[in-house]
Amino acid sequence: MQRVGRRVIAVLAAVTLSLVALPQRAAAKDGIVVFAAASLKNALDDITAAWSEKTGHKVAVSFAGSSKLARQIQQGAPADIFISANVAWMDVLAKDKLIEQTTRRDLLKNRIVLIAHGKVAKPVYIRGGLDLAGLLGDGRLAMAMVDSVPAGIYGKAALTSLGLWDAVRPKVAQADNVRAALALVARGEAPYGIVYATDAAASDNVTVVGTFPAETHPPIVYPAAVIAESGQETVARNFLDFLSSDTARDAFEQQGFTVIEPAMAN
């Protein structure tokens, strides 16, 4: 019995030591880590594949609500690039001196829309007197978290400026990020939701029934920047430049984003 015990310990020790000796994974020597807003998933998947093929560098992308990503970067997460769905979260990082100021640029524009479950749905005229609460009935309005995730913040701002927020607030189901809200409507669990126009295009099971007027919320701008602590600054800058290339522009526009022309070189 003692011999068996010793054998077991020997095997466990060997396994543990071999795990420790394994080469490091995702932080590959010439790869980069991109933190990107959840709504960019479809477009960035294509763009990163194209860039990897072109340059031979690896890219790992983490998609989540911009708020969560920004907080992770504040806590020292090993990101090389951050693409946020609103300017506020990028400003937070800039204030903490966590980004390379010179690399910051505004990449894309987007719109928020009201979506309904199903392949066809009755259009809704989004205006001040809209009885959205009545439209919802006993169903919920799926949105991203309204106090932190940009899609939720824009949605709440739009509803507030239209005077609809107070009536609708008890009916809102806050999801972790805009894609989770989209999934709730796509599944039919929530009859309506507020997501980006680009998200609505990404799912077959939802229909855009109305677009929020641009003046009801702050402009939806996606800034991107290289993280100050990045150990891969050259490669990261290369990727950032690629985001303004024709290939990337096509991918973004195919999803419905509006590409912001890069400012003329200074």
Binding site for other proteins (CB under 8 A): 65, 67-68, 71, 92, 140, 142, 145, 147-149, 170, 172-176, 180, 184, 187-190
Of residues 96, 108, 97, 63, the one with CA closest to residue 82: 63
The residue (of 57 and 117) whose beta carbon lies closer to other proteins is 117
Tokens (6 digits) for 216: 């009801």
The region that residue 73 occupies, defined by phi over 0 for left and psi between -120 and 50 for alpha, beta otherwise, is alpha
Tokens (6 digits) for 205: 């099971």
- Smallest distance, other proteins to C-beta of residue 223, A: 16
Pairing of strands 81-83, 32-37: parallel
Label residues 34-58 b or e (16+ Cβ within 10 Å = b): bbbbbbbbbbbebbbebbeeeeebe
What span, in angstroms and rounded, lies between the C-alpha atoms of 236 and 239? 5
- Smallest distance, other proteins to C-beta of residue 26, A: 19
Side-chain-side CA neighbours of residue 104 (13 Å)? 19
The residue (of 176 and 241) whose beta carbon lies closer to other proteins is 176
3-state secondary structure of 140: coil
- Smallest distance, other proteins to C-beta of residue 92, A: 6
The residue (of 129 and 170) whose beta carbon lies closer to other proteins is 170
- Smallest distance, other proteins to C-beta of residue 181, A: 8
The residue (of 71 and 249) whose beta carbon lies closer to other proteins is 71
The residue (of 47 and 146) whose beta carbon lies closer to other proteins is 146
How far apart are the two ends of the chain, measured CA to CA in Å? 77
The residue (of 171 and 249) whose beta carbon lies closer to other proteins is 171
Give the CA radius of gyration of the chain.
22
- Smallest distance, other proteins to C-beta of residue 94, A: 13
- Smallest distance, other proteins to C-beta of residue 140, A: 5
